[in-house]
A = this chain, B = another copy of it.
């Protein structure tokens, strides 16, 4: 299921296998929130830009079109025509970040839909049921994602509850996967570490959940308000307590440098909406730094976005054309920008893996970390 092929320091080069195939790690998962990638990008396009794992959102798909609909249509793989590895989040993060008034009890969370205000209840069993209906390859445990900073006593109580929720997730996941008509009986389950910015709570919680029979473990509740250095300190604290034989997933992170630094700290899986969201605003990544393609200075620029990029956009279109599409308000602008930025992230991971394969990740980190986010001089 997961094999570490090689290490360099704490960084790991691995291979992960799930019902819909194999992913080389470290890996960046490409986000298709509602069963489509924002910016008019389809699952077919993902194949062309080097995506290994697609990630969809439980909360969104539960509300629309409904996980029952997706199940009846054969599961999310068939629905969106993606036959590769797929992860669904637990819905927890969106329940806490997107929905209106909510109430947390031991049972779960009652919240108001961000679409129509309808009151909805979601607890560990509901989250497992939705993800089972979607039929993803990796289900995430239902957790409470706390904003940083939060009071210590609240974080402690929340973590205790999230640990109890994980036990219920494990039991329900096992039950659902054994039911006849289950969309993806081989679905895996990842647990999620919480604990805010308190290293001791993080470690205790990690030790608690590591005892559960999960197929991987995530660090959640980071990149939600705390300084970057605090994020790295938390990873440093938690990582030694994560089972070495299972993949480690840093949720919702981050910039290219965040990813390089987290790989150096032993993380294997990543996801983030940032590359696609930045793209839709014209902010593009290159190996020479970022650029805002809407800038007047690109009006007559014949070069591709990144002369060192082999993506389908850079192979065909100029900066001048991209800029024109943005200025003219053409939807194609967003599509091409998203394709480029996601390709860049997938290629970043490929180069990280290659550096690990060749035993020169430390040099790669020195060369690129802290630099790829700077404004390009090109």
- Give A residues with C-beta under 8 Å from B: 34-42, 44, 60, 64-65, 69, 72-74, 79-81, 299-300, 302, 312, 316-318, 320-321, 323-325, 327-328, 330-336
B69, B328, B334: which contacts A40 (Cβ < 8 A)? B334
A321 to B60, CA, bound (A): 15
Chain B, Cβ-Cβ closest to A329: B34
Chain B residue contacts of A325, Cβ below 8 A: 34-36
Chain B residue contacts of A317, Cβ below 8 A: 81
Structural contact, A334 and B331, CB atoms closer than 8 A: yes
B80, B300, B312, B333: which contacts A73 (Cβ < 8 A)? B300
Chain B residue contacts of A65, Cβ below 8 A: 299, 320, 323-324, 327-328
Report the 6 A-B pairs with minimum CB-CB distance, sorted nearest first.
A40-B40, A40-B331, A40-B335, A36-B332, A65-B324, A36-B330
A297 to chain B: closest CB distance in Å? 13
Whether A332 touches B42, Cβ cut-off 8 Å, given contacts A35-B321, A300-B73, is yes
Chain B, Cβ-Cβ closest to A41: B332
Structural contact, B37 and A332, CB atoms closer than 8 A: yes
A56 to chain B: closest CB distance in Å? 12
A44 to B316, CA, bound (A): 9
Q: How many copies of the shown chain assemble into the complex?
A: 2
Whether A73 touches B36, Cβ cut-off 8 Å, given contacts A64-B327, A65-B327, A332-B42, is no
A35 to B327, CA, bound (A): 12
Structural contact, B79 and A38, CB atoms closer than 8 A: no
Structural contact, A320 and B79, CB atoms closer than 8 A: yes
Chain B residue contacts of A73, Cβ below 8 A: 300, 302, 318, 320-321
Q: 21 A-B Cβ contacts within 8 A?
A: A34-B328, A34-B330, A35-B321, A35-B325, A36-B325, A36-B328, A36-B332, A38-B330, A38-B331, A39-B331, A40-B332, A41-B332, A64-B327, A65-B324, A65-B327, A65-B328, A73-B302, A74-B302, A79-B318, A81-B316, A81-B317
Chain B, Cβ-Cβ closest to A332: B36
B37, B300, B331, B336: which contacts A69 (Cβ < 8 A)? B300
Count chain B CB atoms within 10 A of each CB in A44, A80, A328, A333 and give the residue with the most: A328
Structural contact, A72 and B300, CB atoms closer than 8 A: yes
Structural contact, B64 and A328, CB atoms closer than 8 A: yes
Chain B residue contacts of A60, Cβ below 8 A: 328
Chain B residue contacts of A69, Cβ below 8 A: 299-300, 320, 324
A331 to B339, CA, bound (A): 14
Chain B residue contacts of A72, Cβ below 8 A: 300
Chain B residue contacts of A44, Cβ below 8 A: 312, 316
B40, B312, B324: which contacts A64 (Cβ < 8 A)? B324
A96 to B104, CA, bound (A): 61
A74 to B39, CA, bound (A): 28
Chain B residue contacts of A302, Cβ below 8 A: 73-74
A327 to B69, CA, bound (A): 14
A79 to B330, CA, bound (A): 15
B37, B334, B336: which contacts A42 (Cβ < 8 A)? B336
A371 to B42, CA, bound (A): 32
Chain B residue contacts of A42, Cβ below 8 A: 332, 335-336
Structural contact, A331 and B331, CB atoms closer than 8 A: yes
Chain B residue contacts of A80, Cβ below 8 A: 321
Chain B residue contacts of A81, Cβ below 8 A: 316-317, 321
